[in-house]
Structure formats: C-alpha cells, structure tokens
Amino acid sequence: MAADLHRRGLGLKSLHEDLDTTAPSGQLTFHVLAALTQFRRRLIAERTHEGLAVARSRGIVGGRPTVMTAEKIAAARSLLPDNSVGATARQIGVSRGTLYSHMDVISAKTGRQQSKVTQEEERRRIRTGHAERQ
C-alpha cells in the first residue's frame, strides 16, 4: 500500500505522530512500524496454531458442538421415507441445513441414496415458495 502511494506521488502525514512519508526519515519510520506490526501478527498466528495443535493432541476439539446425536440420526432415518426434509427437521428439532449436512450419515446405513423428497426437490420447493413453513 505504501509503495503504491509513493508511486502515485502521494505521501502520508500523521496529525498525531511526527510521521511524514514524503521525507526519507518518515518513510523509514513507516516501514519499520509496518514491519514490526507484521512480525507481531505472524507471532500471534504462530502461537495460536501451536496452541491449537497442543489442544488437539490432548483431545480437545474446538468449534461449535453438533446438535445431531445418534438418536436424532436414527429418528431422521425412520421419518424421512414418509416425510419431507422440512417436516423431519422440525420433528427432531434441527434445521433443514443441519439435516442436509448429515444426509450422508442418515442414508448410508439404510442403503438408501436419497430420501423420498430429494434435496434438489426440497431446494426447488423453497425457491418457488412451495416449501412447508419451519
């Protein structure tokens, strides 16, 4: 960014600090401050990654916990053949998106590739306004 401004003949004058990038000393100060900021950012990122790796090695997994339990997957597996995805999601207390995210697990154990109302049909119904209300 600073190089682009310099190529255009523009400078930066700080009103609060004694920094003027139109002068050589101001350019040096600006570049030193930018380098220090970049160094600190990289250190923080490196320490964060190291901390996450240590946590993973201890069995701690980050992120939001899933709402789908084995019981909900079993319920969805039994409900989907006779109900729409939206109705099934409402009955087991999850969103349609959550149900779609777990569709491979839901349909894998039954040998079924897709539910009675396929994902494409449900999405088409949502787009056209013919979907059931959640």
Tens digits of residue pLDDT in 27-83: 898 889 999 999 999 999 999 999 999 999 999 888 888 889 889 999 999 998 888
Determine the average pLDDT of the residues in 13-39.
87
What are the distances in angstroms from CA 26 to CA 7, 31, 68? 16, 9, 57
Mean pLDDT score of the chain:
82
**Residue 18 banded pLDDT, cuts 50, 70, 90:** confident
Beta bridge partners of 20: 13
What's the pTM value of the predicted model, to 2 decimals?
0.47
Could you tell me which residue, 58 or 26, shows the higher pLDDT? Answer: 58
